[in-house]
Structure 1
């Protein structure tokens, strides 16, 4: 069974980035990049991905779409928006982290993550380190942001973190990030990385993708 067939099966049913799930139209502009950073913070907590996605949508619906609006909102307004998204277990501490992060982003990078990117000057490990200066963004959050932002920041490609590589190994795709980026084809490595993370977390996704790939291989024989 060809690896390309497995990737096609995985992407057919489980493709799509987490940013897209959250309604972020990711571009290399300040607002969607900031929303992706907030999503990475939400996703890095031990909570269902669907809850994190719903919470990002709730924050956006509350008008908290950029660091200035996030900082200007009251602590309770942020808590209320987090609660509407279902992020209740971590709402109080996350409200504080969101404000602190917005303040730092405005003060140090003028509210624009592209300035952080410029400071890293194409060095992805440096960028990963800078991301972790943001309150609430640890190694996991930095990996989530980089996995997704590679769709618009070419110097990050290929970025398949330990979770994505675990999903790839479960599907028999190996752990070579460069090869995985090629296997992604027109969908792009960010989309494949997100699908592989889902596969790393869900046995049913692995089984369904392999079953669909086997069926496709038999049909093509």
Structure 2
């Protein structure tokens, strides 16, 4: 069984109205939602968000596919590196284009938690597991 990695483990601290930790946790959840070891997913998060400072949707969207594949490779996240890079870029672009780059705008566009979860699942590569991981830590903040 894979270890459960929390936002706190990744030094992500949520605050009301603070968009950056929500995006960081979304990226971490996205990476951990795949069939890959949690430690490798956490390392991929650290490489992309901390080392390469792709900590906003705009910064992530400005990566090339090749750069993202290289970052994933650096973290040994190689099993799904090509598709993950493609889907991370799609996530960043959709978040920028449809929600002005803010997870909070997905919340604002959703009638309730269920509608929010459905909107999250509309992002390519986000399935039930990723939604579950994301909501495990952000749900109470977004829907008190």
Q: TM-score, normalised by structure 1?
A: 0.60
Match of 2:123 in 1: 134
What does 1:27-106 align with in structure 2 at a 5 Å threshold?
27-28=15-16, 29-60=18-49, 61-106=51-96
How far does the alpha carbon of each residue in 1:22-79 deviate from its partner, in whole angstroms, 9 at most, with x for none? 2222334222111111111111111111111111011011121111111111111111
Query: Which structure: greater helix fraction?
Result: 1
Contact 2:113/2:143, CA 8 A, preserved across alignment: no
Match of 1:178 in 2: none
Contact 2:44/2:72, CA 8 A, preserved across alignment: yes
Contact 1:22/1:54, CA 8 A, preserved across alignment: no
Matched residues in 2 for 1:27 and 1:80: separation? 32
Q: How many residues of Structure 1 are paired with residues of Structure 2 in the alignment?
A: 140
Contact 2:69/2:82, CA 8 A, preserved across alignment: yes
What does 1:104-183 align with in structure 2 at a 5 Å threshold?
104-121=94-111, 123-155=112-144
Q: What is the CA-CA distance between 1:116 and the residue it aligns to?
A: 0.5
Q: Which runs of 5 or more residues in structure 1 are unaligned? A: 1-13, 156-221
Matched residues in 2 for 1:17 and 1:151: separation? 17
Name the Cα RMSD after superposition: 1.7
Contact 1:23/1:57, CA 8 A, preserved across alignment: no
Matched residues in 2 for 1:126 and 1:154: separation? 11
Match of 1:23 in 2: 11
Q: Is the radius of gyration larger for structure 1 or structure 2?
A: 1
Matched residues in 2 for 1:151 and 1:127: separation? 13
